[in-house]
Chains A and B, each alone.
Chain A
């Protein structure tokens, strides 16, 4: 058992952003949330890690209501990686990862060997141990995201929640971040923009549309030409890719005019968070 949402709702400025979502993460597996901009992915993730309070419904962690878990216990269990979190403070890579030990240390506790070991192990797992002393500002986008994941791992969580961890990264770094998440063996819930990457790396996919889950399950079952046309408003052709996973090809000139309800988007990549 791990993290699950039961019919949760959340609104902002009198608009329903998350509208009755039910979903369940499976231990050690990767659950991908996809959906167009504004479909409620980021808000849903924030509800799942209790950065926002659900208005109705309940989020459970091991069948326990998330709202009743003490703050620090929650941070030792569940870690969150924001999209593009940055800072003006002059921190080194190791300083950033050390922040992950915050929930494990009391107000007056000094830095312990256990803390040090957790930080070193986390840096090792994301392949950044050699950058230990490098300044945060001098890192590339992909490296920063790795350090954020290391910071999250230093919390020693069993669940990792990531909001578009591949946003603004070049394709090589997108692939390496997602491959890293697969290697970790931690339960992951992440929002993704790229449908092919979701198909390649996720064990389960939930499709969000206007705050509701419109489909969920294994990628081949969920990612159909019909559903993508309906939710994203683009025409696609889906076939088996070289990796054995489904490959989604975007069609600029739809073969049957009229199938597409919305004008096709010029580019796949969206730069704004959903």
Chain B
């Protein structure tokens, strides 16, 4: 690792920011133009102009709907989902000092889906916010169960992952029990498809829920960037550097639970993004969280948009669940990280 100047100059920073923004816009443009319905690029831009600024181009209602209401909202939500899951992974990896930590592997996603399914099937109202609320409660419960299991088992790095596996199984079983005993056939089919991760049902109201959550949570994480660096040598080392360890843990675990729960309640469980992206980001910008966290947000966003495009074109006439696509990339990456961690010790 080369030692970069401590304060890179402003021109370089602006250039990097512009390049990143350009990559994000390119990914969104691809997502908006690629799809089952062949729509020319010019029409796509006209539809975007109509939707955003009321420009009044002559675009058919169907094309307008597909481009603006369907594909754009879907692309934006994919970006928010990828960004926040990657952010959650980076936070969990730092706090737990474990390179394999992420919401999916630690069972937080499973807990959130149990909570969401409980609300959906047992029916405390069907609005998005109530499902998110159920997901949040599920995520927090899962986090507490996994933390208690891990502490009880000795608290070492490997135990946390084992506790996560046990937690995932437990909550997936709970979800399956609710679905099989209480849902009708129609509901069961819908839930099972949603559980694998699916951007198909995304519309603008989902984007309006996810955007403030993502921005606020990102802000909270950035305020803790330096503190997260101090966890490199463990909680005692952080405490002796003046970090309020307990408060920081509560705030940041709650933040990851909010981000995970929001995304699970909208798109279902999407695994491995939180695992792979932080490692890729660390490779590009180094381990300091002040740079790592924004990098995770953007790279996660771009990755998820591309994964969503892939899910739509990989099998003709069919849409793969997004969780399947991310697992196709994530599972080998998981193996690679495991292999490298073994070599390092």
Contacts and interface: CB of A to CB of B under 8 A. Distances in A.
Interface stretch (B65-73, B139-147, B230-238): B230-238
Contact of A72 (B224, B242, B286, B341): B242
Interface residues on B, range: 20 to 34
B224 A107 contact: yes
Given A92-B3, A137-B344, A74 B97 contact: no
A80 B226 contact: no
B288 interface: yes
A43 to B, nearest CB: 12
A132 B1 CA distance: 12
Contacts of B244: 71
Interface in B285-323: 286-288
A88 interface: yes
Contact of A102 (B97, B223, B230): B230
**Interface band, chain A:** 35 or more
9 contacts: A71-B242, A75-B241, A86-B233, A88-B99, A90-B286, A100-B241, A102-B226, A102-B229, A107-B226
B287 A82 contact: no
A103 B234 CA distance: 16
Give the one of A46, A78, A99 with max B CB within 10 A: A99
A85 B237 contact: yes
Given A94-B3, A99-B230, A132-B3, 16 more contacts: A71-B242, A80-B236, A80-B240, A88-B97, A91-B232, A91-B287, A92-B1, A96-B232, A99-B232, A99-B233, A99-B241, A102-B226, A102-B230, A102-B241, A133-B3, A137-B344
B243 interface: yes
Contacts of B344: 88, 137
A200 B99 CA distance: 43
Nearest to A70: B242
A178 B330 CA distance: 48
A190 interface: no
Contacts of A71: 242-244
A82 B224 contact: no
Among B232, B236, B341, residue most surrounded by chain A Cβ atoms (within 10 Å): B232
B282 interface: yes
B284 interface: no
Query: 6 shortest A-B CB distances, which residue pairs?
Result: A75-B242, A103-B242, A80-B240, A72-B242, A102-B241, A85-B233
Contacts of A99: 229-230, 232-233, 237, 241
B6 A76 contact: no
Contacts, number: 86
B233 A87 contact: yes
Interface of B: 1-3, 6-7, 97, 99, 223-227, 229-230, 232-234, 236-237, 239-244, 282, 286-288, 341, 344
B97 A76 contact: no
Interface of A: 46, 49, 51, 71-76, 78-80, 82, 85-92, 94-96, 99-100, 102-103, 105, 107-108, 110-111, 116, 132-133, 135, 137, 155
Contacts of A46: 236
A86 B234 CA distance: 8
Contacts of A103: 241-242
B219 to A, nearest CB: 11
Contacts of B240: 49, 51, 75, 78-80
- Kindly name the residue among A51, A78, A133 whose own CB sees the greatest number of chain B CB atoms within 10 A: A51
Contacts of B2: 133
A269 B206 CA distance: 63
A102 B3 contact: no
Most chain A CB within 10 A, of B3, B99, B225, B242, is at B242
A82 B241 contact: no
A88 B338 CA distance: 12
B242 A76 contact: yes
A99 B232 CA distance: 9
Contact of A90 (B224, B241, B242, B282): B282
B232 A102 contact: no
A76 B240 CA distance: 10
Contacts of A74: 242
B223 A82 contact: no
Pick the most buried of B97, B225, B241, B282: most chain A CB atoms within 10 A of its CB.
B241
Contact of B341 (A86, A88, A90): A88
B293 to A, nearest CB: 13
Given A90-B287, A99-B229, A51 B241 contact: no
